[in-house]
Amino acid sequence: MNTLVEDMGLPLMEEFLTIQGEGYHTGRGAYFIRLGGCDVGCVWCDVKESWNATDHPKVSVDHLVQNVIDTNIDFTVITGGEPAMYSLDMLTQELNEKGIETAIETSGVYELSGKWHWICFSPKKFMPPKASIYEVANELKVIVFNVHDFKWAEEHAAKVNDRCVLYLQPEWGKQDEMMPLIINYVKQNPKWRISLQTHKYMNIP
């Protein structure tokens, strides 16, 4: 169940125009809306300051949509935190009506709301995802922190729909250690692709 009605405002940690750095849309100009609030608790999360929703001001949907429009960008990524904690019907509807594509990055632990052009499902070991996410995910992005994550990635890959694009992404702090293993794994298992956090190489948000 989504825990917040949108007309009461969404807890906004940050919003910014950038280049999508990960996954399928890597290299594409995007407006990021990062919502506060997450109860998944990934130990390697690089935005732990997003976890407590009460730390972030509630911002109206109209404000968020207007800020996207002002950039003249046509692609918006809703991320977090865990954005699926909230009802996103109104936000996605208004963005879509303005001709702006909408994407979400989610761990899948909440049922989705909203209408999406792209759903990036990045499951975490700390809380199981909802069964419904496997059918609608456009992209499965598994963060590889240790060698056991390859088996775990395959368990999720076996559940997603046939249209879903599969990515393995090294956890940033373990990149030197995990990248050679990921390269070899993808060579042997070509259904997988490699995702890199290219925005960190470019030193942009």
Element containing residue 200 per DSSP (H, E) = helix 198-201
Domains delineated in the chain: 6-201 (3.20.20.70)
The 10s digit of each residue's pLDDT in 169-200 is 999 999 999 999 999 999 999 999 999 999 99
Q: What is the pTM of this model?
A: 0.93
Query: Mean of the pLDDT values across residues 53-75?
Result: 95
CA distance 133 to 131: 6
Structure confidence at residue 76 (pLDDT) = 98
The 10s digit of each residue's pLDDT in 115-136 is 999 999 999 988 899 999 999 9
Query: Mean of the pLDDT values across residues 17-28?
Result: 97
